[in-house]
Amino acid sequence: MTRSGTKLVPAVAGLGLLAGAGLAWTQFERRWPVLREYTVAVTGLPSSFTILQVADPHFYPGQEWLVAYFHELAELDFDFVVATGDNFGSVEASEMVEAAFEPLLVKPGAFVFGSNDYYSPLRKSWASYLWKHSNPAAHRTEPDLPWEDLRDWFTEGGWVNVINRSASVTLPDSGLSLAIVGTDDPHIKRDWLPEVDDFPAEWLAGADFRLGVTHAPYQRVLNRFAHAQADLVLAGHTHGGQLAVPGYGALVTNCDLPRRFASGSFKWEAPLGSVVTHVSAGLGTSPFAPVRFACRPEASLIHLVPGLES
């Protein structure tokens, strides 16, 4: 017994050191953002343009590094910004959100909201993050975040609100016309999209580019955009799984997409049509789960280029 116990002590100590190193890495990685770039060829697009997508910053006190990163993003070369929601991680974050987004408002943009633009995060069991559809906001009805103030601030800054709405934007440098249709957060069942025949006229005929925007990439939303022949759909919400296993990938998507679609660009095959979709792994975390592993925070530059007729 004495000999076995002697052997066990260094093994347990080694496991403890490994666990401690892993936890330390998750803290480093969540503050180690990366810019990911993608190129999407669009049939019939008259000229190229670039979208900057920012997703899921979840601002809360202590995230000054993330404000600084937004300022770095503002120095990049892009034509349009899309913010796909979950901007708040705290009821105290309004000034931080505005400080981060302000330099991006010099470019045209569009926005939708996620549940953490209406409801502040709640502390929950770590095990709940591994459930397929973790949704603590589903049972809350009274928003405690200043979503109306943020909506008005974005629109006063020149961005278009596409929360269950549509908008048309003409890019100032190229003259390209964008028809944009967006939804509110499907994760808390606030989403609405018209029937395809009722999409706006500029979407159905005339726009150079048709863009769908949603916070959470639920299949029902992607299917409708595919049927409506969107050129691109942008979403966030998944955090790329937030915790991933090297060689295996994300553990969950927190929506009804398969794990292989937790982040990145892919063609979504719907019952009626298909659509190129980009799901951002996002930039932040909940203050109650401030970790990332094998899933760095990210912003996305998506280069849209003319494609050949098939």
**Average of per-residue pLDDT across 6-18:** 51
- pTM for this structure? 0.91
Where does the pLDDT of residue 18 fall: very low under 50, low under 70, confident under 90, or very high at 90 and above? very low
* HEC letters along 43-93: ECCCCCEEEEEECCCCECCCCHHHHHHHHHHCCCCCCEEEECCCCECCCCC
Residue 8 has pLDDT above 80, yes or no: no
Within-domain flag for 54: yes
Q: What is the pLDDT of residues 33-56, one digit of tens each?
A: 999 999 999 999 999 999 999 999
Pairing of strands 177-182, 166-170: antiparallel
Within-domain flag for 7: no
Percent of the chain with pLDDT over 90: 83
Q: What is the pLDDT of residues 74-93, one digit of tens each?
A: 999 999 999 999 999 999 99
**Average of per-residue pLDDT across 199-205:** 95
Residue 275 has pLDDT above 80, yes or no: yes
- Supply the CATH number for residue 184's domain: 3.60.21
Where does the pLDDT of residue 125 fall: very low under 50, low under 70, confident under 90, or very high at 90 and above? low
What is the domain range of residue 124? 31-307
Average pLDDT, the chain: 91
Contacts of 117 by beta carbon, 8 Å cutoff, 6+ apart: 85, 86, 87, 88, 145, 147, 150
Residue 19 has pLDDT above 60, yes or no: no
pLDDT value for 310: 47
Within-domain flag for 26: no
Within-domain flag for 20: no
What total number of domains does the chain contain? 1
Within-domain flag for 50: yes
Within-domain flag for 250: yes
**Average of per-residue pLDDT across 50-72:** 98
Within-domain flag for 14: no
**Average of per-residue pLDDT across 296-306:** 98
pLDDT value for 27: 83
